[in-house]
Amino acid sequence: MHTNLLLSVPVRYWQDFQDTLARATNANIYIFDANGAPFSRFSLPAELCREVNKGRELHNEKCIDFYKLACGSLEEKDMLTCPYGLKLCAYRLGSHAQRIGYLMVAPSRHTTLVEREEEIAFITKAHNIYRTINEVFSAILEKNLLGLRRLELNSIYEISRLMTSIVELDRVLELITNSLIIIYQADLCFVGLREGDKIRVAQGKGVHGSQLIGKEWPLVHPLIERIFSKVEPSSLSIEELKVLPGFTGTEAAPGTEIMVYPLWTALGIVGLLGIAAPASLGDNGSKNLQIYINFAAVALANATLIRRLEREAETDYLTGFLNKRVLRDVLAAELQRAARYGYHLSVIFLDIDDFKAYNDTFGHLAGDVVLQKTAELIKNSIRTTDIACRYGGEEFIIILPGTKGGDAAKVAERIRKSIETYPFPHRRITASLGVAQAKKDDSVESLLARADQACYQAKEQGKNHLYLEPS
């Protein structure tokens, strides 16, 4: 958030007010923002100021440096003398917690205020000006802050409604990071999800956000342990975060803090959420953000659980391959794609030879080991773009997009050899493989039936064979 955002006042209206006040009190008024940069023009500049700055705005280098330094070192109020000998009263506007700017009051004509009485009168006048201006700024700030809180609450209400109705994890992550960056104008926002014994960054937005995606932080890392040792957020500097992968090369201005919220639900740790600490948050703002974070934790927990259930429903537990249930959908999609873009598609049907006898002789646990190892050998023999499924029992299907029957046969032969030569426990294991290339107007059923038939032919040839269906 911009330092001066909440003090967003139309300068042209403010200048009118400031000039009227200056005329009424016969004093020069000058206001600087929280960074010490000029906010308005001199109201009633002493001749000397106008002369050295050539007008009502600050141009003189000496003056600019003087005011910058004065603002930077000012505690609450002070009596200062400018480089040209003009005495002025300086005040900090706002509070210690929320510094909103600085006020300089100087006599409207050049005077060194040598007379004690004259000095006391001027200080009293300056103090009255300060009280008036501070009151006005506080009122503006309060009004703007209320507007921001209302915006936050409305947004949280809308988002909480939406989050409880969305179950897709990617959309929930997108919604959380987008809305936090928008509402709080955060420079950085990221969400890490718990995956076993580590936190994996699933989404990152803002400055350097994309660099964090995919980075893994072990739960036993001292910094991560520190974050999860309490329910409240941890305020961490970039220097502290640099011990985590993804933050290593990041540099930020001193004082940049990241609030890292542990995400908990009744089920335990869901993950963590980091946000570049929004300025001007205050007590109510912190509570609003915490409410939002609590909703986010529940929405992420739900979406994560649903994604896990979906994955489990699609995956064969033993081999990690897709199961028969989703095979039809995947193959139908690949057939459509092949037809649309005019590329080849082949399917390998693999059956482990005499698996029933192996199971009956050496037991189901030994049989499971064979299935797992066969799956691993298949996985090692295919491309990442190929899709392997466990069709049932000891049967596997491998879908090879963009592959002609002849090339698929080479892959099948590679698989057959790797199974044949692998030292399985108890005895040698072999497999029969049938290969079929998709034809125009093939359906899932017709293609699978032809691949099955080709596998049958391979068995007929004496097992441990592959058979390529003639095109």
Nearer to other proteins, 156 or 398 (CB): 156
Q: How far from 445 is each of 384, 441, 453, CA to CA, in Å?
A: 24, 11, 12
The closest alpha carbon to 415, from 329, 347, 358, 350, belongs to 350
Catalytic residue among 152, 257, 394, 469: 394
Give the binding range for other proteins (CB under 8 A) out of 51-59, 64-72, 247-255, 258-266: 247-255
Report if residue 250 touches other proteins, rule: CB under 8 A. Answer: yes
Q: How far is the CB of 253 from other proteins (least distance, A)?
A: 4
Residue 445 is a catalytic residue: no
Report if residue 146 touches other proteins, rule: CB under 8 A. Answer: no
Q: Which helix (H) or strand (E) holds 471?
A: none
Q: How far from 7 is each of 39, 54, 139, 140, CA to CA, in Å?
A: 11, 28, 10, 7
Report if residue 237 touches other proteins, rule: CB under 8 A. Answer: no
The per-residue b/e assignment along 156-172, b for 16 or more CB within 10 angstroms, e otherwise, is: beebbeebeeeeebeeb
Classified as helix, coil or strand, 183 is helix
Pair of tokens at residue 102:
């600085």
Q: How far is the CB of 214 from other proteins (least distance, A)?
A: 16
Q: How far is the CB of 139 from other proteins (least distance, A)?
A: 13
Query: According to CB under 8 A, which residues from 177 to 236 bind other proteins?
Result: 178-179, 181-183, 185-188, 205-208, 210
Which residue has 């300086």 as its token pair?
90
Report if residue 403 touches other proteins, rule: CB under 8 A. Answer: no
Q: How far is the CB of 83 from other proteins (least distance, A)?
A: 29
Nearer to other proteins, 60 or 237 (CB): 237
Give the binding range for other proteins (CB under 8 A) out of 251-259, 265-273, 321-329, 390-398: 251-259
Report if residue 450 touches other proteins, rule: CB under 8 A. Answer: no
Other CB atoms within 10 A of residue 316 CB: 21
Residues 6+ apart with CB under 8 A from 381: 411, 414, 415, 418
Q: How far is the CB of 38 from other proteins (least distance, A)?
A: 17
Candidate residues 151, 243, 309, 313; the one interacting with other proteins per rule CB under 8 A? 151
Classified as helix, coil or strand, 59 is coil
Q: How far is the CB of 9 from other proteins (least distance, A)?
A: 7
Give the binding range for other proteins (CB under 8 A) out of 51-59, 167-175, 195-203, 293-301: 167-175
Pair of tokens at residue 88:
């002025």
Candidate residues 51, 158, 170, 445; the one interacting with other proteins per rule CB under 8 A? 158
How far apart CA 458 and CA 112 sit, in angstroms, is 108
How far apart CA 183 and CA 315 sit, in angstroms, is 39
Is residue 315 within 8 Å of residue 322, measured between CB atoms?
A: yes
Report if residue 144 touches other proteins, rule: CB under 8 A. Answer: yes
Residues that bind other proteins (CB under 8 A): 5, 8-10, 144, 147-148, 151, 154-155, 158, 162, 171, 174-175, 178-179, 181-183, 185-188, 205-208, 210, 249-253, 256
The catalytic site residues sit at 394
